[in-house]
Structure 1
Amino acid sequence: MSPTRPRAAALASASLVIALTATATACGEDRGSGGADGKGRPQGVAIDWKRCEAPTAAQGAGKAPGKAWQCAKLPVPLDYGKPDGEKIELALIRSTARKKQGRIGSLVFNFGGPGGSGVAGLPSLADEYDKLHDRYDLVSFDPRGVGESAGVRCQSDKELDAAAQIDGTPDDDAELRVSLASNKAYIDACAKNSAKVLPHVDTASAARDLDRIRAALGEEKLHYFGISYGTELGAVYAHLFPKKVGRTVLDAVVDPTQDPVKGSLGQSKGFQLALGNYLKSCGTSAGAAAGCPKLGEITALLKRLDASPLPTDQGRKLTQDEAVNGIAAALYSKDTWKYLTAGLQEAMRKGTGNTLLLLFDTISGRGPDGRYNNLQAANRAISCADAEQRYTVADVKQRLPEFRAASPVFGESAAWSLLACTDWPVKGKWKTPDVRAEGSGPIVVIGNAGDPATPVAGAERMAEGLGRSVGVLLTVEGEGHGTYGVNACATKAVNAYLLEGKPPANRTTCA
């Protein structure tokens, strides 16, 4: 959440914007998106599925998935304005439906970011979609610019470590100069190492890739499950290809009406709300109250870290920025609140930052071996390819009081992160998205009341933006980022739609 690097993972997703390229209409496929044969069946490039290898460093490393998983590459145009021109390859993964009788088709996942590798992510998350796996081939992919799909490259691991130590919430002109110089060095590295792909990693192009995937899978319609930023991608697809929309679920929904300022401000409020909910829960948990921090203690800790970072066993130091992002990482799920308590206790009582630094690493894409996946680079590149807005230091300083009022913990970092796209070498395409999807089938849109990264109001606006006959709003009174597999009521409703074609009643609420 600093100008020295992009906001990590879904911290950036609510501030993204979407739209269409000038070469497509709201209701039609671009040429080359996979048409139909003479009998109306989908037609696409055949996919050569093979046994998967282990994820690469850019994807996040790890072990090769088991025999149930197959991987492939799918060629798509680098520039959809030149569909017969240069191609890039999308990395795909799938596991076929376990029950051939009653198979519905392929269910394509995007888990968000932007910047998350679906090839690395789906096998590790597949157990959560076990019931769906009986009747669907589970499919995911690395979106363009991500992982092994022409992944954006910027700085080296050592350079990223060094950048993380720079104060991203400058208190004086000297700190500001250092921060801006670091930001420029990052941008220059992206331009040097990834100039060819930077203009083409926008969300609209990724949506066109989705239609190529649909056709190559042999599906007449795209059955899709999008989470966080994946909801934005799914909404863009629905706008571009409404007649190709199959059973679609958008969970932890990005607000399509917000520009980067409003999105970042909304996230500041959302994370502050989640932090408050955590503090209340911690204080009432049996045996935990004695070790529960207070909000004032957290803000005091962050102030101390601004001046004196804490030592860690890794030899790295925990900075204020890293602590803020580490706290945010723990708020994504109620299951990780216990690690937040441990990390804050360690920092306050022992004067070491091991746990908070590990939490920061999980959200920044840094592995235990010190290697980064390309999450940060892809996150920044996609965000800046989408967003037209370019903010100045004067803009940030003017808005700082509003951000600080929204969140004494997250507000200042969120405000300074507005400079992430300043001086980016590629112009952004859009201000706010057009997600109208007239002619589409029902799209189930889920918002969680306690979601820190994508506040529930975004789901309401997405459902309205898709259209009254399209968006089906489901609201959950719970905590965390995402609801499927966490809330029994929401999970049951999603399964009924994806497996039986029965969407919930609009404006259903799950406790």
Structure 2
Amino acid sequence: MDTRRLLRTSGTLAATAALLISAAVSGGAAPSAAASGRAGEEAVPTALKPYYEQKLRWHACAGKHPGFECATLRAPLDYDRPSAGDDLKLAVSRKKATGPGRHLGSLMVNPGGPGGSAISFLQGYAGVAYPAPVRARYDMVAMDPRGVAASEPVTCLSDAEMDAFTKVDATPDNEREVGELTAAFKKFAGACASRSGKLLQHVSTVEAARDMDVFRAALGDDRLHYVGASYGTFLGATYAGLFPSRVGRLVLDGALDPSLSAERVNREQAAGFQTAFASFVADCARHDDCPIEGGGRADVAGARLKSFFATLDRRPIPTGKSRELTESLATTGVISAMYDEASWPLLRKALRNAQNGDGALLLSLSDAYYERSDRGVYTNLMPANSAVNCLDLPPAFRGPAGVRRALSDFEKASPALGTSFAWAALSCGYWPVPAVGAPHRITAPGAAPILVVGTTRDPATPYPWARSLAAQLSSGRLLTYDGDGHTAYNRGSACVDSAINDYLLTATPPPASRRCS
């Protein structure tokens, strides 16, 4: 079981595997105006000046990341009522520019989620694998957003409780199973409330964007240069709406559309995964080891996949460990592999093994999605993901009746996966903190050119979202990648990479509506 609105770059999943939404408009200062993109007051309030004027104390990071420095940034828990007694300690990291060439300042990165660790992304990927010319000219920097990883993490269930939670049947067939699913959502929400307290009221995207501006100031930069992937695009767009005059070079890769309701986000994401599944099926048919027969037809293959899931629902299969592969875990494993077409061979093998009674590989794909280690330890990805998503927008559904009314629309969007997406969208209906945001457009008038990147067959952030965000932003420029997988930058397209690199290095965006393949 998962929230199905987990939005993070495939690079994060790949890094995890190699071992393997809803928009907040809370957080103090008049989010209804600023977050909607109307240029509001950008002068630093007197009460916030101590945060903006703080000096970071950099030191070598602990662990296996030579060349990276770490520090702690102070930020108010509540921007409306800043108090030193309630300050948050936010983890930040950097790797200084390697040269040669003129130093361009800091380039902040965020891999999405919400809940993905930006510091892990920086130290394990962006700071070492982004194009060398970019790393030469920028200090590469990251901040774990409030509530995430090393920055005052939201905590909910224990590891053992998470194991139980993730295997609950997310496609209930009767009232008893509906009751078990809703009870699981309620238990998760209650644990978050009891273990995270008032922090749950202050992990919105607007507050995280305001933290980014404090970090920008502490770095000594006049403008924010930023690459945000997946949910990180919403974080970056929110920043632009709040602080348009402080926008530098912003790349929003795999864009989220902030004007959508939670129900539409979930339903359209289901359609996105159906598009990706159709691509997988077409590719699978070209291989002798394809475990889903159907002649490359997504409808036939989807029916066979649903039949396989139904078999697991009746009889989970062994994995060689204490945990069996259930329908819910298998569904999550398939979804995990849809993020990156490089995972499709692994998915073919995982499905073939599972059909032969060995669920180990498909379980490992599910564990990668949840960021569960081989030792059974979970990161706080899923608690943070729920905390931000459920604070950001009113819930898609407030009870099972709403899900039932919407089921046919979800199943039309994705015959293979729609039922699972619909029921997963119920999770925020039981959240202990009321949502404070609403769907809204972000225009950011007066901002420098902002580059929005969309992939035509992106599963997690469907391509129409990128087109919509680029059209909303007054200075938005759309770059299209005609391809598969989630996000586009640094994933193999020389056309995409050169366009983004040129923009980051020269501030010159590509021509309007440039298309790459």
Same fold judged by TM-score > 0.5? yes
Partner of 1:7: 4
Partner of 2:433: 426
Find 1:284's aligned residue among 286, 290, 293: 286
Q: CA deviation at 1:174?
A: 0.8
Asked whether 1:29 is paired with 2:42, we answer: yes
Find 1:297's aligned residue among 275, 300, 304: 304
Q: CA deviation at 1:35?
A: 8.5
Amino acid at match of 1:29: E
Partner of 1:82: 81
Amino acid at match of 1:473: L
Find 1:438's aligned residue among 445, 449, 452: 445
| 245-254 or 315-324: bigger deviation | 315-324
Partner of 1:58: none
What whole-Å deviation, never above 9, does each CA across 1:238-295 have from its counterpart, x for those lacking one?
000000000110001112221111111111111111111011112124x545886733
Partner of 2:348: 341
CA distance in 2, matches of 1:425, 1:195: 10
Q: CA deviation at 1:32?
A: 4.9
Asked whether 1:353 is paired with 2:366, we answer: no
Alignment CA distance shift 1:34-1:450 (3 Å): farther
Partner of 1:153: 155
Amino acid at match of 1:328: I
Aligned pairs for 1:454-473 (under 5 A) are 454-467=461-474, 470-473=475-478
Aligned pairs for 1:241-256 (under 5 A) are 241-256=243-258
Q: CA deviation at 1:6?
A: 3.2
Asked whether 1:200 is paired with 2:205, we answer: no
Find 1:400's aligned residue among 401, 407, 411: 407
Find 1:47's aligned residue among 36, 50, 56: 56
Partner of 1:109: 109
CA distance in 2, matches of 1:393, 1:32: 45
Alignment CA distance shift 1:20-1:207 (3 Å): same
Aligned pairs for 1:324-335 (under 5 A) are 324-335=331-342
Instruction: Give SS of 1:444's match.
Output: strand
Q: Is the 8 A contact 1:18 1:433 kept in 2?
A: no
Find 2:276's aligned residue among 260, 274, 277: 274
Q: Is the 8 A contact 2:371 2:378 kept in 1?
A: yes
What whole-Å deviation, never above 9, does each CA across 1:403-452 have from its counterpart, x for those lacking one?
11221221111101121111211111112133110010000000000100
Amino acid at match of 1:122: L
Find 2:377's aligned residue among 359, 371, 376: 371
Q: Is the 8 A contact 1:34 1:43 kept in 2?
A: no
Q: Is the 8 A contact 1:222 1:247 kept in 2?
A: yes
Find 1:448's aligned residue among 430, 442, 455: 455
Find 1:480's aligned residue among 481, 485, 498: 485
Partner of 1:493: 499
Instruction: Give SS of 2:198's match.
Output: coil
Alignment CA distance shift 1:291-1:382 (3 Å): closer
Amino acid at match of 2:312: L
Alignment CA distance shift 1:34-1:367 (3 Å): farther
CA distance in 2, matches of 1:496, 1:259: 35
Alignment CA distance shift 1:107-1:309 (3 Å): same
Instruction: Give the TM-score normalised by the residue count of structure 1.
Output: 0.91
Q: Is the 8 A contact 2:178 2:400 kept in 1?
A: no
Instruction: Give the TM-score normalised by the residue count of structure 2.
Output: 0.90
Partner of 2:235: 233
CA distance in 2, matches of 1:355, 1:292: 20
Q: Is the 8 A contact 2:172 2:181 kept in 1?
A: yes
CA distance in 1, matches of 2:181, 2:43: 42
Instruction: Give SS of 2:284's match.
Output: helix
Partner of 1:73: 72
**Identity value in percent:** 38
Q: CA deviation at 1:130?
A: 3.2
Instruction: Give SS of 1:318's match.
Output: coil
Q: CA deviation at 1:502?
A: 1.1
Q: Is the 8 A contact 1:44 1:218 kept in 2?
A: no
Unaligned runs of 5+ in 1: 55-63
CA distance in 2, matches of 1:44, 1:214: 11
Amino acid at match of 1:472: R
Amino acid at match of 1:105: G
Q: Is the 8 A contact 1:473 1:507 kept in 2?
A: yes
Q: Is the 8 A contact 2:410 2:422 kept in 1?
A: yes
CA distance in 2, matches of 1:78, 1:149: 12
Q: Is the 8 A contact 2:262 2:394 kept in 1?
A: no
Alignment CA distance shift 1:11-1:402 (3 Å): farther
CA distance in 1, matches of 2:417, 2:46: 42
Partner of 2:22: 16
Instruction: Give SS of 1:472's match.
Output: strand
Asked whether 1:412 is paired with 2:419, we answer: yes
CA distance in 1, matches of 2:449, 2:116: 26
Q: Is the 8 A contact 2:461 2:486 kept in 1?
A: yes
Instruction: Give SS of 1:72's match.
Output: strand
Partner of 1:130: 131
Partner of 1:60: none
Alignment CA distance shift 1:12-1:426 (3 Å): farther
Alignment CA distance shift 1:506-1:237 (3 Å): same
Alignment CA distance shift 1:307-1:392 (3 Å): same
Unaligned runs of 5+ in 2: 11-20, 295-300
CA distance in 1, matches of 2:188, 2:292: 39
| 163-172 or 238-247: bigger deviation | 163-172
The number of residue pairs the alignment matches comes to 489
What whole-Å deviation, never above 9, does each CA across 1:202-260 have from its counterpart, x for those lacking one?
00000000000100000000001000000000000000000000011000111222111
Alignment CA distance shift 1:472-1:175 (3 Å): same
Amino acid at match of 2:457: G
CA distance in 1, matches of 2:494, 2:207: 35
Q: Is the 8 A contact 1:34 1:215 kept in 2?
A: no
